[in-house]
A and B are shown apart, each in its own frame.
Chain A
Amino acid sequence: MEALTDIVLRSLWVSGSATLLSSLWSLPLAYAMAVSRRLGLLAPIMEALVGVPTVVVGLVMYMLLSRTGPLGFLNLLYTPYAIIVGEAVLITPVIVSTAYRVIRRSVETYGELARTLGAGPLQAAALVLSQSAPGLAASVVMGFSRAIGELGVAFMVGGNIAGYTRTLTTAIALGVAMGEYELAMQLGLVLIALTLAVSLAVRASKRLWE
């Protein structure tokens, strides 16, 4: 199997990009749900979707990205970008539902404060989001942890190709499939250490911010 550092860096890159990409739509959606009563009705649905098995999301993404699927023309299947897109979709419910809870509380206070001072909708949104930054960081980290720890999407649309789309989790699964349990165990420990490190780093920066 290829060098561990390559796999680790690829996993960080893929899951990190997926998290950024997902945040691009998840945070605005969470904000829209927090300010609009009608969109707020999505909250229980999002919460329910958090529990969808990753392999189901992976299968759906595969059917979409397959050569014969509706998005086949993008030629994304079996590339790291397919995993990025798939994981971004996968972690949307996690980020949206946790961020929604944070923002809702913030909208009631800072949103109203902004309106008393004559803020427009965008200015109010900016104030609310900046005031809830630590909570939002935590929800983005939850998204990242789910992305880097998931197997279904990476396996189905990435293909676990050595040196190209092999991530920590698919390498672990391959290790198990090949009976190389020690290797799988080591990779598992690296994965835990990584998610722990990211979460601690965010906590530390949160303290700095407060």
Chain B
Amino acid sequence: MRRALLAALTVAAAAAALVALVAGWQQEHVIRVRATTTTSLYATGLLEFLEEEFKRVRPGVEIDFITVGSGEALRRAAQGDACLVFVHAPSLELAYIRAGVLERGAIFAYNYFVIVGPSDDPAGVRAAASAAEAFRRIYEAGEAGLARFVSRGDNSGTHVRELSIWRAAGLDPRGRPWYVERGAGMAETLVTASEMQAYTLSDIGTYLKLKREGRLHDLEVLYTNSSELINIYSVYLVSSCAGEEREVAEEFMEFVVERQDLIAGYGADEYGQPLFYPARERLDELKRLWWSLAEG
């Protein structure tokens, strides 16, 4: 009797698993577009917001965001495993454009990187006249044992930018005891900086989000809003992308570029300031800055 019950249960479980498997296969046909994106961009919620708006005018599609660092986002595109790429690392982008991986692209938004650090600012970053000078001050304070710096260390757009600022300052902090290579995403890096009372470079969106959630004690924006800290977000179509996925990808790219009004207001209610600025009004200037970042 018990044996029969058990056998029946086993059969039922196996049948249920099978049905679930089959049901999974028979999902209604939607066109899926694979898009790799940087963590900082995804974490703000902007991309999913844009996807929702896009799906209103173009039902029956799904944009699958795969959230990784800019380096990996591009690498995956090169492998043929993405159709769209949302990134903010001009020098990496240029390399992949030249390699023929990326076909067409557009700058759709920008904001500024911020140098954040402890409010007592032992390195005196607040008084710096440029980002390079701010980094030089951190370097000196670090050598004097007064400050530490936490680097993403993950080949992300933010990391690439940080390294280019060190280069502009003529310094190489790698291997110094006060220079911490975290190897993690922006949020984790910010939390680490907060825990260690250290400086770091962050995108404004992730910083504001974590600050508002009370995750960052005593970590403040000490330097920002100069064109040298501009953070340019681009979207690219990947050359290997084909078929209906490509059609939808092109539509979504167009939508993102066309509807920059959606970007302009995003996050203003929540964070008291917009997280992104639409690229449209300053496009020529942004292109010029993009090239200097890409080649510099």
- CB-defined contacts of B263 to chain A, threshold 8 Å: none
Interface of B is mostly: helix
> Chain B nearest CB: distance from A178 CB in Å?
5
Contacts of A16 in B (CB 8 A): 17, 20
In the complex, chain A residues 144-199 whose Cβ is within 8 Å of any chain B Cβ: 159-165, 174, 176-181
B39 close to chain A: CB less than 8 A:
yes
A179 and B81 in contact (CB under 8 A), knowing A20-B17, A78-B34?
A: no
**Distance (whole angstroms) from the CB of B187 to the closest CB of chain A:** 3
Expressed in whole angstroms, the Cα–Cα distance for A208 and B9 within the complex equals 12
CA distance A179 to B195 in the complex (A): 13
Residues of B within 8 A of A159 (CB): 34, 64, 66
Interface string of B5-36 (1 = CB under 8 A from A): 11001000010010011001000000010100
Answer whether A78 and B81 are a contact pair too, CB < 8 Å, given A159-B66, A177-B188.
yes
- Nearest chain B residue, comparing its CB with the CB of A80: B24
* B67 in contact (CB, < 8 A): yes
Spot the interface stretch: B111-119, B207-215, B246-254, B274-282: B207-215
Cα distance, A13 to B188, chains bound together (Å): 30
Instruction: Looking at the assembled complex, report how far the CB atom of A125 sits from the nearest CB atom of chain B, in whole angstroms.
Output: 18
With A17-B17, A67-B240, A77-B81: A161-B188 Cβ-Cβ less than 8 Å: no
Q: How long is the Cα–Cα vector from A46 to B256 in the complex, in angstroms? A: 50
Tell which of B2, B66, B213 touches A160, judged by Cβ atoms closer than 8 Å.
B66
Complexed CA–CA distance, A165 and B62 (Å): 12
* Contact in complex: A78, B79 (CB < 8 Å): no
Question: Is A179 a contact partner of B79 (Cβ separation < 8 A)?
Answer: no
Q: Interface readout for A1-33 with B: 1 if CB under 8 Å, 0 if not? A: 000000000000100110010000000000000
In the complex, the answer to whether A176 meets B81 with C-beta atoms within 8 Å is: no
Partner of B2, one of A13, A69, A165, A208: A208
Which residues of B are found within 8 Å of A68, using beta-carbon distances? 79-81, 240
| In contact, B62 and A13 (Cβ under 8 angstroms) | no
B185 to chain A: which residues have CB within 8 Å?
177-178
Say whether, besides A67-B80, A72-B80, A78-B64, A162 and B187 are in contact (CB < 8 Å).
no
A78-B64, A159-B66, A162-B65 as given contacts; A13 in contact with B81, CB under 8 Å: no
- Contact of A66 with B by CB under 8 A: yes
Q: Identify B6's interface contact among A17, A176, A179, A209, CB under 8 A.
A: A209
Q: Which residue of B lies closest to A165 (CB)?
A: B64
Q: In the complex, which range does the number of interface residues on chain B fall in?
A: 35 or more
CA A69 – CA B32 in complex, angstroms?
20
A176: B residues at CB distance < 8 A: 187-188
Give every chain B residue within 8 A of A20 (Cβ-Cβ): 14, 17
Q: In the bound complex, do residue B17 and residue A179 qualify as a contact, i.e. CB atoms below 8 Å apart? A: no
Is B190 interfacial (CB 8 A cutoff)?
yes
Q: Quick check: A208 and B188 within 8 Å, CB to CB?
A: no
Is residue A205 contacting chain B, with contact meaning CB distance below 8 A?
Answer: yes
Q: How far is the CB of B238 from chain A (nearest CB, A)?
A: 10
Chain A, 31-74, contact with B by CB distance < 8 Å: what is the 0/1 string? 00000000000000000000000000000000000111100100
Docked Cα-Cα span, A80 to B2, in Å, equals 36
Shortest Cβ distance from residue A79 to the other chain B in the assembled complex, whole angstroms: 9
Bound: A162/B240 CA distance, A: 24
Residues of A within 8 A of B81 (CB): 66-68, 77-78
Shortest CB-to-CB span from A173 to chain B, Å, is: 9
* B48 beta carbon closer than 8 Å to chain A: yes
The reply to whether the CB of B107 lies closer than 8 angstroms to some CB of chain A is: no
Tell me if B191 counts as interface (CB < 8 A to partner A): yes
Chain A nearest Cβ from B37, distance in angstroms? 11
User: Among the interface residues B32, B62, B81, which one has the most CB atoms of the partner chain A within 10 A?
Assistant: B81
Does residue B97 face the partner (Cβ distance < 8 Å to A)?
A: no
Chain A residue numbers with a CB within 8 Å of B62 are 163-164
- Which residues of A does B touch, CB under 8 Å? 13, 16-17, 20, 66-69, 72, 77-78, 80-81, 159-165, 174, 176-181, 205, 208-209
Chain B residues with CB under 8 Å of chain A are 2-3, 5-6, 9, 14, 17, 20-21, 24, 32, 34, 39, 43, 48, 62, 64-67, 79-81, 184-188, 190-191, 206, 209-210, 213, 215, 240
Nearest 10 pairs of A and B residues by beta carbon:
A67-B80, A179-B187, A159-B66, A177-B185, A161-B64, A178-B43, A68-B80, A66-B79, A179-B210, A179-B215
Known pairs A66-B81, A180-B213 / 7 extra A-B pairs, C-beta < 8 Å? A17-B20, A68-B79, A80-B24, A161-B65, A164-B64, A209-B3, A209-B6
